[in-house]
Structure 1
Amino acid sequence: MLLTLHVLISLLALLAGACFSLALLKHKPGALLHSLFWWLTLLTSLSGVILPAEQFLPSHLFVILSLLVLAVSGYAWWKTALSGGWRIGFIVCSLFAFYLNAFVAVVQAFMKLPPLQQLAPTQSEPPFAVAQGVLFVIFLLLGYLSCSQRNGWGSQ
């Protein structure tokens, strides 16, 4: 039950992240969309950390990183109104939190979906590296394009 809830929250966070990223590209990340993305991503991290595990896993490191960048992103949005350099920090941290979720989604897809599992059964094969590389490049471009405009939006 807990795993199913975590997966559902994660999928919703990914969808909200995609919508939020498109809004960033248009330089109009509205408060409602940002809040939806931020809270769903926070819930994804928190629900992931309480899943049963016998040892410290890479997913726990992702949770710690996600919580740290979400804290900075939230501070930039709610406390600084994106003034000064906080706008860039907000964009970078928000997109990094989204990237971490997307990275884990790709990992899970290669673990759980039979066609992808056959392509990279140990996740050390080239198809897995290519998928993660493409994802990384997409997020780099998204970050660059989102940060490229110096004016035109704030915390609205």
Structure 2
Amino acid sequence: MILGLSVATFTLVHVLISLVGIGAGLVALVAMIAGKDLGGWTATFLATTVATSATGFLFHSKAIGPPHIVGAISLVVLLVALVALYGRHLAGRWRLAYVVTAVLALYFNCFVGVVQAFQKIAFLNALAPKGTEPPFAIAQGLLLVAAIAAGWLAVRNFHPAERGSGAAIRPATV
């Protein structure tokens, strides 16, 4: 039992929260690339990604491992994103700090999603049963390249004049 739920039910809730976080994060990222701020989607992304990282620590484990390390780093990254967005209102360099940490948090969530997919989906597991084989490395490499490219576009294009307006923001100057 975890928080009064069976392990299976808790796992399902954790996975659903993670999927909502990834979905909302992708919507927020596309908006940032388009120079828009979607306050509700962003809040949903941040809240569910914090919840995903935090609930990951509740699973029973005998030792600290890679999932714990990724979860801890993710929570620190999310703290910076939250401070930049809600505490510093994206002023000055806080805009850059927010975009970089939001994209990084989404990347970590997707990174774990790829790991889980290769562990749990039979077709993918057959391609990389140890998680060290080329198909796994290629998938993670493509994810990293996509995150870097999307992050660069978001940094270049996301310049909110008024947070939460959802309106198009001025074009970027590079």
Task: Output the TM-score relative to the length of structure 2.
Answer: 0.86
Question: Are 1:77 and 2:68 matched, yes or no?
Answer: no
Question: Are 1:155 and 2:169 matched, yes or no?
Answer: no
Which whole-Å CA distance do the structure 1 matches of 2:109 and 2:40 have between them?
A: 20
Aligned match for 2:74, one of 51, 66, 71: 66
Which whole-Å CA distance do the structure 2 matches of 1:66 and 1:73 have between them?
A: 10
Which whole-Å CA distance do the structure 1 matches of 2:69 and 2:158 have between them?
A: 33
Give the deviation of 1:61 after TM superposition: 0.5
Q: Which residue of 2 aligns with 1:127?
A: 135
Q: Which residue of 1 aligns with 2:145?
A: 137
The one-letter amino acid of 2:137's match is A
Task: Output the TM-score relative to the length of structure 1.
Answer: 0.95
Question: Are 1:18 and 2:4 matched, yes or no?
Answer: no
The one-letter amino acid of 1:113's match is I
The one-letter amino acid of 1:120's match is A
Which whole-Å CA distance do the structure 2 matches of 1:60 and 1:154 have between them?
A: 36
Question: Are 1:5 and 2:13 matched, yes or no?
Answer: yes
SS at match of 1:81: coil
Give the deviation of 1:35 after TM superposition: 0.6
Aligned match for 1:50, one of 34, 48, 58: 58
| Superimposed CA distance per residue, residues 63-113 of structure 1 (whole angstroms, 9 cap, x where no aligned partner) | 111110110000001111101111011000001001000000000000011
The one-letter amino acid of 1:81's match is H
Structure 2 residues without counterparts, runs of 5 or longer: 1-8, 165-174
Root mean square deviation of aligned Cα = 1.2
Which whole-Å CA distance do the structure 2 matches of 1:61 and 1:154 have between them?
A: 35
Structure of greater Rg:
2
Checking the alignment, whether the CA contact within 8 Å between 2:32 and 2:157 is kept in structure 1 is no
Give the deviation of 1:150 after TM superposition: 6.7
Give the deviation of 1:53 after TM superposition: 0.9
Checking the alignment, whether the CA contact within 8 Å between 1:25 and 1:142 is kept in structure 2 is yes
Checking the alignment, whether the CA contact within 8 Å between 2:24 and 2:44 is kept in structure 1 is yes
Give the deviation of 1:152 after TM superposition: 4.7
Q: Which residue of 2 aligns with 1:108?
A: 116
Q: Report how many aligned residue pairs link the two structures.
A: 156
The structure richer in helix per residue is 1
Give the deviation of 1:2 after TM superposition: 1.3
